[in-house]
Amino acid sequence: MRGEPNEEDRTVFPPGTENLRVDQQTSQQMLYDTLYSILQQEKIETLTSLVQVYGLGSDDPAPFGLDLASRLKLFEACPYLLRSGQNIESSPSGLYTAPPKGLQGAISSLNCK
């Protein structure tokens, strides 16, 4: 999530084995789809982790939490994302030069109001 490619994405396939690469990409996407589906089905637990572990709602939300909330289309995260923005704005002057990267993107992608 921070730019480091997965092991599967770093694999170099020799010429003539492109079909193996396609199979691997298909399997990888199926795994992501399954994972995201489970996280969406278990919204309360997912949101609880995003708040408690990744700081949604705080003045220092982790980029991973912001990105995951957007990827999952977790609209229930909106109050926490907006609270993070408010907490950052109300923090002592000079403490933060700008909101964490991804906060405004997450707010926009979920159309939080």
In terms of Cβ atoms closer than 10 Å to its own Cβ (0-12, 13-18, 19+), residue 112 is middle
Residue type, 52: Q
pLDDT in tens, 45-97: 999 999 999 999 998 899 999 999 999 999 999 999 999 999 888 877 656 65
With left for phi above 0 and alpha for psi between -120 and 50, is residue 93 left, alpha or beta?
Answer: beta
* Cβ(67)–Cβ(96) below 8 Å: no
Question: In which element (H, E) is residue 8 found?
Answer: helix 7-10
Task: Quote the pTM value.
Answer: 0.80
Which of 112, 111, 87, 113 lies closest to 99, judged by CA? 87
Mean pLDDT of 18-36: 92
Which of 21-30, 42-51, 97-106 is least confident? Answer: 97-106
**Percent of the chain topping pLDDT 70:** 91
* Cβ(74)–Cβ(43) below 8 Å: yes
